[in-house]
Structures are given as structure tokens and as C-alpha cells.
Structure 1
Amino acid sequence: MPIREATPDDWPRIWPFWHRIVAAADTYTWDPDTPEEAARALWMAPDKRVYVAEDPPGQVVGSAYLTPNYGGPASRVANAGFMVDPDHGGRGIGRALAEHVLAEATAHGYRAMVFNAVVETNPAVGLWTSLGFTVLGTVPEAFEHPRHGWVGLHIMYRALGRPGD
């Protein structure tokens, strides 16, 4: 499946599933009522490398971003966000995006990747662990899940290969 860098023209095809996922309030810590322009500023910020997955070509079915998690001397630790259109889940799109972003992070000199707040009931936890991420810790009862009540937020980490390794 083609994965490429996003352009500003891709936002109208990302927004419908971005809104649907965030409004569900079960996997992201962003406000479920985030308006479109604020969402665009969060996802498409100039300091982020944004990617889209197309399947079939021309139909955006997922998106991801890559950005430094910290600044200054710690700026070689990456952070990323991933969303797959719920109508296209279970087809390996999330794994393909994750593998692409991990390769991009390594190519851009990042030494590690950290996810700051993975809802512990999120099915993607299994994907991240299968890709070598570990749970460094869990903030207990930090997320009010609409079905499960108060659940924890994992902080997940993975070292990245160094370019030339």
C-alpha cells in the first residue's frame, strides 16, 4: 500500500476519520470536541512530518505523524501519532504506517521513540509490543474511558537502529 508524505490538500481526507476517532474518546487524550481548525493545527503542525496511507491509491485510509518528543539535547527521541479510518481497520494499515514511521525516524537520526499516553485498553498496545515497544510505566486511572471507566495511560518506549547499523 502506498505511504507518502502528506500535503496540505490531504487534510480534508484525514479530518473525517480524525474527528470520528477523537470524538469516540477511547484512544486519544485530545478533547473529543476539538474543532476542525484546532485538529488540523495539532496533526499537521509545521514541526511534524505527516504521512498518509492510500488503499486504493488516491483514497486516504490512514495517517501518521513523526515529531521530536522533546527539545534541545533530547530532540533525538521521537514521538508519533497514528490513525486508521475505522472503516478500514483490520487490514494491516496501522502496522504498515508504524513500520514506515519507524524507518523514517531511524533515517532522520532519531535514537528512540516514546509514546507518552497510550490508553491501556487500546488494541494498538498489542501492535506496539509486537514492534518492540515496552511499557516503561503506567499512570493509573488517568483516562476516563467511555466504556471501561478509569483506566491507565502507558508510557511506551523503543530504541531505534542507528543509520548505518
Structure 2
Amino acid sequence: MTFFYSAMTGGFYSDAVHPTRPEDCVEISDAERLSLLDGQANGGTISACTTTGMPEVVAPVNDPATTRARLLASVKREASRRILIISPEWRQLNDLRSPSDAATNRFAAIDAVRSASNAVELQIGETADEDLGDFDVGKNPLWPESVAAS
């Protein structure tokens, strides 16, 4: 499978899934695509090089305000991930339509994740600027134990 990147859309494309692609697409290897996604997951931004058009990761700004904002966004992603492990959206909708003891337990677990999310966000706000780099959202002990980090 061949992969492409479009600076115009900021998206990745493959020849197997996208027979038509934006005109500015440049071909990249699977290893390059994975490296770009890894850099983005670590706070970087993917942009196209102005001379070659090839995508590259621009390192994240590491000032305290940016780091704090990145951590807060990470808390929201982690809470969402944990909630979907407890109960996917389709099940939540079914639970609303057909209440049961099991549904009540799932909603209680979801509420615990939401409470933990709020507490972790407060903790980030209270963390000293110089300690933000060591803050591990996924392994924070405030998360309920019923949904393990993965």
C-alpha cells in the first residue's frame, strides 16, 4: 500500500482507500507516516516543508501554558477512552432506553471517570510549572481502578 500526505487538507491518504486524492499529495513511506503520527501524538504539529512539500513534525512549544493546555486535552482524551471501554455509545443509548441494574452500574462507572477527570484537571492546574513535564495523565492514581490504563 502506498501512502500520501496532503498539506492542503493536513491528511493522510492511501492508494487502497483513496483512489482520488488532493493534487498536492506527496508520496511517503509507511514508516514516515507512523513517525509523523508519533510526533503528533507527542505534541508536535505536522506541516509541509516549504521547499520540498514533504511533511515534517514541528516540535511542540514547551512553555508552561502550552504544556498545561496539552495535558488538559490529554485528560479529556483519556476520560473518553475510559468511558468507551466501560460502555460504547451504542450501549449508553440502549441503557437510556431500557434501564437495568447493569445500566445503572455502567453509568455510575462513567460518572466516576468524569469525577476523576475533573480532579486530574484541577491537579494539573495546581502543578508547578517545572513539574508539568513529569505529569503522567494516563497513570494518574485519581482514575478509577475499574478501567485500567492501556
TM-score range, shorter chain: under 0.3
* TM-score, L = length of structure 1: 0.24
- Structure with more contact order per residue of length (Cα contacts < 8 Å, sep ≥ 6): 1
TM-score (norm 2): 0.25
Name whichever structure is richer in helix by fraction.
2
Greater share of strand: 1
